[in-house]
């Protein structure tokens, strides 16, 4: 249902975070390495066959001169979520961010924060959840859990520091 690709195995530790979120919601995914620069034919084939293989969303991560998400987006009608990676060949992350973010008009890539693979997984789930009630319900439970988690820290901190708000 969701395709997760990355330019190199060195991106895996970050990109696995998208897979982990999808797993937590029982959303099927496939994950592999596809490099825009080192395996250009594989990239074109992956993008052109993605829809027919049943994918609904693609999450693509890359670092440095991060052309993978944009090039994949140019070869498919599926929504592409881009994850800029702070890689060994990245100056400071901005190169990856801008390479993925600053797409020309007509070929959008939904760009998340630097190393923001978890948010990419959540966004993919939301795209699928817009037409899938079961996934939408799971997302609601997840979002409610975030509130509960923050409120538990409020109680925890209150034991140590005064707070008259609540
Ligand atoms: C990019 O170059 C990859 O996505 C990775 O983030 C970066 C470095 O790749 P390696 O040299 O570690 O394979 O294309």
Structure confidence at residue 166 as a pLDDT band (50, 70, 90): confident
Residues 117 and 166 placed together within one structural domain of the fold: no
- Does 38 lie in the same domain as 104? yes
pLDDT in tens, 9-62: 999 999 999 999 999 999 999 999 999 999 999 999 999 999 999 999 999 999
Q: Please count the structural domains in the chain.
A: 2
Here the CATH number for the domain that contains residue 123 is 3.40.50.1970
Q: CA nearest 78: which of 33, 103, 46?
A: 46
The CB of 85 under 6 Å from ligand 1? The reply is yes
User: Which residue range is the domain that position 150 belongs to?
Assistant: 132-166
Q: Are 85 and 14 within one domain?
A: yes
Mean pLDDT of 5-12: 98
- Write out the two tokens for 122: 């959540």
Q: How confident is the model at residue 80 (pLDDT cuts 50, 70, 90)?
A: very high
Instruction: Pick the closest to residue 111 from 150, 81, 136, 87 (CA basis).
Output: 81
35 and 113: one domain? yes
- Whether ligand 1 lies within 6 angstroms of the CB of 11 is answered as yes
The predicted model gives 142-146 an average pLDDT of: 96
Nearest to 97 by CA among 127, 69, 138, 136: 69
| Same domain membership, residue 149 and residue 68 | no
Angle, vertex CA 130, rays to CA 73 and CA 17, nearest 5: 60
Protein residue with least CA distance to atom 2, ligand 1:
63
Say if ligand 1 is within 6 A of residue 63 CB. Answer: yes
Domain shared by 89 and 106, yes or no? yes
pLDDT in tens, 81-140: 999 999 999 999 999 999 999 999 999 999 999 999 999 999 999 999 999 999 999 999
Whether ligand 1 lies within 6 angstroms of the CB of 87 is answered as: yes
The rounded distance, in Å, linking the Cα atoms of 7 and 38 is 8
Are 86 and 51 found together in one domain?
A: yes
Predicted pLDDT of residue 69: 98
């Amino acid at each position: 249902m969701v395709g997760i690709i990355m330019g190199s195995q060195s991106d895996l530790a970050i990109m696995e975070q998208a897979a982990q979120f999808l797993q937590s919601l029982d959303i099927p995914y496939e994950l592999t390495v596809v490099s825009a620069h080192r395996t250009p034919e594989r990239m074109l084939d992956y993008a052109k066959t993605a829809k027919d293989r049943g994918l609904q969303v693609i999450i693509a991560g890359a670092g440095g001169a991060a052309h993978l998400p944009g090039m994949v987006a140019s070869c498919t009608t599926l929504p592409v979520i881009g994850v800029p990676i702070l890689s060994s060949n990245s100056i400071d992350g901005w190169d990856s961010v801008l390479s993925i973010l600053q797409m020309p008009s007509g070929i959008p890539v939904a760009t998340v924060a630097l190393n923001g693979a978890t948010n990419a997984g959540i966004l993919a789930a939301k795209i699928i959840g817009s037409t899938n009630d079961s996934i939408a319900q799971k997302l609601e439970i997840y979002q409610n859990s975030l509130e509960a988690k923050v409120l538990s820290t409020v109680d925890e901190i209150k034991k140590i520091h005064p707070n008259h708000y609540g």
